[in-house]
Amino acid sequence: QEAHAAQMERTFIAIKPDGVQRGLISEIIARFERKGFKLVAIKLVNPTKSFAQKHYHDLKERPFFDGLCDFLSSGPVLAMVWEGEGVIKYGRKLIGATDPQKSEPGTIRGDLAVVVGRNIIHGSDGPETAKDEINLWFKPEELTSYTSNQEKWVY
């Protein structure tokens, strides 16, 4: 009832170049839609390597950092913002464990990916990173806000 009184929780979700090139965009979006989350921003972008380094700045000491940034900047990425109660945590649940060998069947990575370096999707891991990542990838005017009146659009 009061779902729109305050701004609902938002998270940043990105389909990485492997997911885009494998034709998994509609499959992945469908899972978030069917769950009941709301898409409030979406665009296909070609991140530069330095942009990828900004996105993954927390991982800069890790041995796979350079390869990861090369990969993220190797082709178009579908950047999205999804909104809904608990969307940050539940979005991670829909995505599954980082390593697709450990993700449960039924999750996006569990069903659709095989190796950790090509795990097709990214999702913010907490409220702070969600805010930072949304701000990094989107301008304020690219974020929409609307109420779904589904009963009006179905006859």
Judged by the rule CB under 6 A, the positions of this chain that interact with ligand RTP are: 59, 64, 68, 98, 116-117, 119, 122-123, 125
Q: How far is the CB of 140 from ligand RTP (least distance, A)?
A: 23
Residue 93: phi and psi, rounded to 5, are -70, -45
Nearest to 119 by CA among 13, 16, 11: 16
135 or 148: CB nearest ligand RTP = 135
Could you tell me which residues come within 8 angstroms of residue 14 by beta carbon, excluding any fewer than 6 positions away? 77, 78, 79, 80, 121, 122, 123, 137
Q: How far is the CB of 39 from ligand RTP (least distance, A)?
A: 18
User: Shortest approach of ligand RTP to residue 35 CB, angstroms?
Assistant: 17
With contact defined as beta carbons under 8 Å apart, do 48 and 126 qualify? no
Report the catalytic residues: 122
**Cβ distance to ligand RTP smaller for residue 84 or 96:** 96
The smaller minimum CB distance to ligand RTP, of residues 58 and 85, is found at 58
SS3 sequence, 58-121?
Answer: HHCCCCCHHHHHHHHCCCCEEEEEEECCCHHHHHHHHHCCCCCCCCCECEHHHHHCCCHHHCCE
CB nearer ligand RTP, residue 105 or residue 140: 105
As beta bridge partners, residue 39 has: 82
